[in-house]
Chain A
Amino acid sequence: MSVLTAQPVNQFVAKDYKSDLKPIWCPGCGDFGVVQAIYRALANIGRAPHEIAFVSGIGCSSRIPGYTTAYGFNSVHGRALPIAQGIKLANPDLLVLCAGGDGDGFSIGGGHVAHVVRRNIDLTYIVMDNQIYGLTKGQLSPTSRRGLITASSALGSMEGPVNPLMYVLGYGASFVAQGTPADMAGLASIIEEAIRFPGFAFVNVQSPCVTYGQEDQLLKAQKAMMQPLASLNHDPANRLAALDLAQAYGEKLYTGVFYRNPDPPPTFEALVRLRQEQQRPLAKSRADVLNVFRLKTP
């Protein structure tokens, strides 16, 4: 059963996806809102928790799989995407979610993004972007603004930030969106749409850090500045327009779907299935593989 054909049977409600584990996040952390939005999105989709694999790396936000009732995997720093891809390829029937912070996704693990995009493996990658390293107590992150003073940049950062939206759009991703827990309903529906998208889907979430973050990034500030893309009459099928809007990352807070490819390429796992079906008749049993070593008398 693919994600798309799954009927919303309303068999599950949001709290069915909530585990008993108490989050370690600071009170007021944006990630509380993100996990709530994920519960809601999953309830709308209606897949049973045991059919969901939720993978993360390391960081504050990467604790998130443990707060759900899905099969979770809180792995190592920066490597959530390779592990999630292995899971999806091993069992394409699973709904695979992947999540982490901006450091996990765009610094230590940044090299993996291009490849999950070009394979177009059907999984949803949610980055909780807070422009800071929280778990290690307040160092520069790849999305920190230039000049920022942090524990590791006492005299101010000398580097400009990565633009996660341009980064993923630039590699040719078919689904790129942004949300904020300042708009819970909007975030839940963006995540739901991303999960339903047949292929790799990326959601950047502006999830403020209440402990090490900047005043102008907190939920209250976000509420004031956020601007739904829908209100701009943006056509999400227009990739160039999406790139244009994505350039405003760091200055404006657009929410919603930047780009949704109306004609996405086939997923890697669909091509794998096709190849397996084409090749399967060539072998009767696993022992057949040894025939290649058998010499044929000329």
Chain B
Amino acid sequence: MTTDLVIGMAGSGGDGIVSAGESLLTAAALEGYHGVLTKSFGPQIRGGESSFRLRVCTKKVLNPGGGLDIAVALNWEDFLKFGSELPVSGRTTVIYDAATGVAPDGIPVKDALPAEVLPVPIEQMARESGGGDRVKNTVVLGLMSGWVGLGREQVVAGIRKRLARKGAEVVERAEKAFAAGLAFAEAHPLRVDRTMAPPAESGAKFVVDGNDLCAAAAIVAGCEFFGGYPITPSSEIMHFLGREIWRYGGTMLQAEDEIAGIGAVVGASFAGKKAMTATSGPGMSLKTEMLGLASIAELPLVCVNVQRGGPSTGIPTKGEQSDLLQAAFSAHGDVIRPVLAAISAEDMFAVTVEAFNIAEHYQTPVIVLSDQEVGQRKETADPIDASAVRTVDRLRPSAEDLNPYVRFRFTESGISPISHPGMPGGNYLASGIEHTENGSPTAGGEMHSRMNEKRLRKFEPLKQRADLFLRAGNPNARIGLISWGSTAGAVIEAFELAAADGLDVKLLVPRLLYPVADGIFQDFLASVERGLIVEQNHQAQLYRLLRMFVDVPGGVETLAKSGSNPITPSEIVERLRRLAAAPKAETAR
């Protein structure tokens, strides 16, 4: 019995790899297991190599795990293309199609002697079932059901549902293929038992991905307008809203370019509606001028950046956390735009709702940093209770405020009541040009200073929002661990392992990245002598950002890797152990 299992599988584009992974995740979620499914593809539009890795766990997991427990190769050429994404180690059971003609002691896996290597006549069983190559994935589902024990009935029912429209014959062949795989597994028990222990809690989970959940969260938050332009890996947000937003009285506009997408969002917000756009790196670069306009005109909007490898086109299909400094600083002029990041697909719900709330309350654009991993991986989530969601609307002018209306009135909080076209008495001029309190253009230095001060001061309370930070561990621990975004999933797990191992370590995961909540970070770092900041980018961008605003102790190190290079809990734990074992730090830096 096992409580935590990672299955990786690779094959050619037409092999139905991804749908096999989704079938297994669905079966796991229905039984109450937690799971994370990541998919990976070659650059081809169709065909080419594809793979999934599925982690199934009896308790909550937030990352796709490290080495594989079970590796399935339909052919070796495609499997090897995924390299470190599908790492085979001494604890891996390797299953491969006997049709590849490779002997078990000759499999092309370097640097590892797998726990077990088993050729399986996958192609032959598929052929004998009558379904040919198309049902090789179904044979594998049968094998996994047999060896792992994930709800057979549910997998079979899933197959029936998926194939029903293709006719009874197709369904029958698939069922035969599944049964053949299952029979093979039962006749050939694995040397290392891979059967899943019962889940910690029963009851079906949601299956979500970050992009769809972001779009759904926008609707729950009250979003009535989306404008955007197709770009990988964020387009699913637009697809989802293009299906769903109408029934909630909203509108989705696929604009002619990234600038027009956010331009229409600026317009919709000016017209009084909650509005959002979504993009990825190159699109973010194009939207920068409009973000500045929204900042000076003090218009709420949410801009989601599902990060990918950069710069420029970079690696569109792989995640990276390398747009943090862009999010914080890609603006001309003195400006603050709040930047939030979600740590998982499930977390995109709360973070997106919060982004709308902050945008509306502070009358500002808010940037949400997701990444390809958070955006496109599928994972289980606890059912969401939308009735518990708190939503915030912008401060509208009272009758008194309208007599006469002064749009950018200096207030104690820096937040001025905002009207919208259609509201009698609220007429004003919104502008990208510097303006006086009533919106008239000005080039005066004194007014510019005062307006800058108003627009920056209003964010002070945001920096006190401790609820936007995840903290764990002994508050006086000498070792501090900090991470953000999807990497935090691995870091949280590493923290738990290290704490269970007796290391005196504490954890801080900011969901608010900018403005830097210097007080919260400083408080966390007060007891820290050594630390580790973990992130998926080359320059250690969060570390560098913190050094601008916070007194970071000299003993704090970074673990920063470019995208597409997994950061695993075990390597984080290893770094923490070394930090703990090092001699006491000098006080001088």
Spell out A's residues near B (CB within 8 Å). 21, 48-53, 55, 58, 63, 65-66, 69-76, 79, 81-91, 93-94, 111-112, 114-115, 272, 275-276, 278-283, 285-287, 289-290, 292-295, 297-298
What is the bound-complex CA distance between A76 and B426, given in angstroms? Answer: 22
The 3 tightest CB contacts between A and B, nearest first, are: A86-B267, A298-B157, A82-B263
Residue of A nearest to B441 (CB): A66
Give the distance to chain B from A154, nearest Cβ to Cβ, in Å: 29
Q: Are B429 and A75 in contact (CB under 8 A)?
A: no
CB–CB B253/A85 < 8 A? yes
Question: Are B264 and A89 closer than 8 Å at their CB atoms?
Answer: yes
Q: Are B256 and A111 in contact (CB under 8 A)?
A: yes
CB pair B427 A71 closer than 8 Å: yes
List residues of chain B with CB within 8 A of the CB of A86: 225, 227, 253, 263-271, 275
Known: A79-B290, A86-B265, A286-B220. A91 touches B271 (CB 8 A): yes
> Is the Cβ of B441 less than 8 Å from the Cβ of A51?
no
CB distance from A197 to the nearest CB of B (A): 20
B207 interfacial by beta-carbon distance below 8 Å: yes
State whether A82 touches B267 (Cβ < 8 A).
Answer: yes
Q: Mark B148-189, 1 if CB is under 8 A from A, else 0.
A: 000001100110110000000000000000000000000000
Which one, B248, B384, B422, B424, contacts A286 given CB within 8 A?
A: B248
Given known contacts A52-B421, A90-B267, A290-B216, A76 and B290 CB-to-CB distance under 8 angstroms:
yes
Contact B429 A286 (CB under 8 A): no
Which residue, of A53, A71, A115, has the highest number of chain B Cβ atoms within 10 A?
A: A71
For the complex with contacts A87-B270, A298-B30, 4 further pairs of A-B residues with Cβ separation under 8 Å are: A21-B440, A79-B260, A82-B259, A112-B256
Give CA–CA (A283, B248) in the complex, Å: 7
Interface 0/1 of B519-541, CB less than 8 Å to A: 00000000000000000000000
Q: Judge whether A50 and B29 touch: CB under 8 Å.
A: no
Decide if A94 touches B422 in the complex (CB within 8 Å): yes
Q: Which residue of A lies closest to B256 (CB)?
A: A115
Could you tell me if A50 and B154 are in contact, using CB atoms closer than 8 angstroms? no
Any chain A CB within 8 A of the CB of B44?
A: no
C-alpha spacing A53/B267, complex, angstroms = 10
> Cα distance A64–B30 when bound, in Å?
61
Measured in the bound complex, the distance between the Cα atoms of B208 and A293 in whole Å is 6
CA distance A201 to B422 in the complex (A): 22
A82 touches B222 (CB 8 A): no
* Pick from A55, A70, A79, A275: contact of B246, CB under 8 Å: A275
Given that A90-B224, A279-B246 are known contacts, is A298 also in contact with B154, CB under 8 Å in the complex? yes
Cβ–Cβ contact B384 & A282, under 8 A:
no
> Interface size on B (CB < 8 Å)?
75
The answer to whether A73 and B268 touch across the interface, beta carbons within 8 angstroms, is no
CA distance A268 to B363 in the complex (A): 29
Cα of A30 to Cα of B538 in the assembled complex, Å:
55
**CB-based contact A94/B421 at 8 Å:** yes
Answer whether A50 and B208 are a contact pair too, CB < 8 Å, given A66-B440, A94-B421: no
Inter-chain contact A85/B267, CB cutoff 8 Å: yes
Q: Which residue of B lies closest to A278 (CB)?
A: B246
B256 contact set on A, CB distance < 8 A: 111-112, 114-115
- Bound-state CA distance A115–B227 (Å) is 14
Mark B residues whose CB is within 8 Å of A. Answer: 26, 29-30, 153-154, 157-158, 160-161, 204-208, 212-213, 216, 219-220, 222, 224-225, 227, 244, 246-251, 253, 255-257, 259-261, 263-273, 275, 289-290, 292-293, 297, 381, 383-384, 386-387, 420-433, 440-441
Q: How many A-B residue pairs have CB under 8 A?
A: 211
- Between A and B, 12 residue pairs with Cβ closer than 8 Å are A50-B427, A70-B427, A72-B431, A74-B430, A79-B260, A81-B260, A86-B227, A86-B271, A89-B267, A292-B212, A293-B216, A293-B381
User: Chain B residues near A81 (CB, 8 Å)?
Assistant: 260, 263
Find chain A residues with CB under 8 A from B269 CB: 86, 90
Name B386's contact: one of A49, A90, A286 (CB within 8 Å). Answer: A286
CB distance from B434 to the nearest CB of A (A): 11
Q: Give the nearest-CB partner of A287 in chain B.
A: B386
Complex-state Cα separation, A76 to B299, whole angstroms:
14
Known: A52-B421, A279-B246, A289-B244. A75 touches B432 (CB 8 A): yes
Assembly CA distance A34 to B220 (angstroms)? 45
A204–B245 CA distance with the chains assembled, in angstroms: 36
Complex contact B206–A294 (CB within 8 A): yes
With both chains docked as a complex, state the minimum distance between the C-beta of B12 and any C-beta of chain A, in angstroms: 28
Q: A286 touching B270 by the CB < 8 A rule?
A: no
With A74-B433, A82-B259, A293-B208 as given contacts, are A286 and B427 in contact (CB-CB < 8 Å)? no
Cβ-defined contact, A53 with B421, below 8 A: yes
Question: Is A48 a contact of B424 with CB atoms below 8 Å?
Answer: yes
Please give, as numbers and ranges, the residues of chain B lying within 8 Å of A58 by CB-CB distance.
432
Instruction: Please give the distance in Å from A60's CB to the nearest CB on chain B.
Output: 13
Q: How far is the CA of A51 from the CA of B422 in the complex (A)?
A: 5
- Are A90's CB and B161's CB within 8 A? no
**Most chain B CB within a 10 A radius of its CB, from A70, A83, A93:** A83
CB-contact partner of B219 in A87, A111, A286, under 8 A: A286
> In the complex, how many angstroms separate the beta carbon of A146 from the nearest chain B beta carbon?
29
A70–B266 Cα distance when bound, in Å, is 18
CB contacts (< 8 Å) of A76 on chain B: these are 289-290, 292-293, 432
Q: When the two chains form their complex, are residues A287 and B271 in contact, meaning their CB atoms are under 8 A apart?
A: no
Measured CA separation A112–B253 after assembly (Å): 14
- Expressed in whole angstroms, the minimum distance between the Cβ of B390 and any Cβ of chain A is 13
| Chain B residues within an 8 Å CB radius of A276 | 246-247, 249-251
Chain A residues with Cβ below 8 Å from B244 are: 289, 292
In the assembled complex, the Cα of A58 lies from the Cα of B433 at a distance in Å of 9
Cβ-defined partner of A287 (8 Å) among B207, B220, B266, B268? B220
Within the complex, the shortest CB–CB distance from A120 to chain B, in Å, comes to 14
Per the bound structure, the CA–CA distance linking A85 and B257 in Å amounts to 14
Check A112–B260 contact: CB distance below 8 A.
Answer: yes
Question: How far does the alpha carbon of A63 sit from the alpha carbon of B441 in the complex, in Å?
Answer: 9
**Which B residues are in CB contact (< 8 Å) with A82?**
227, 255, 259-261, 263-264, 266-267
A91 to B263, CA, bound (A): 15
CA distance in complex: A87, B222 (Å): 17
Complex Cα gap A278–B249 (Å): 10
Across-interface contacts of B264 in A (CB, < 8 A): 82-83, 85-86, 89
Inter-chain contacts of A94 with B (CB < 8 A) = 271, 421-422
On whether the beta carbons of A83 and B267 are closer than 8 Å, the reply is: yes
**Cβ–Cβ < 8 Å partners of B427 in chain A:** 49-50, 69-71
CB of B457, distance to nearest CB on chain A (Å)? 25
Interface centre among B219, B256, B290, B381 (most CB of A within 10 A): B256
Instruction: From B26, B257, B269, B429, name the one whose CB has the most chain A CB atoms within 10 angstroms.
Output: B429
Cα A55 to Cα B263 with chains together (Å): 12
Q: Are B275 and A282 in contact (CB under 8 A)?
A: no
A53-B271, A295-B204 given as contacts; is B263 within 8 A of A65 (CB)?
Answer: no
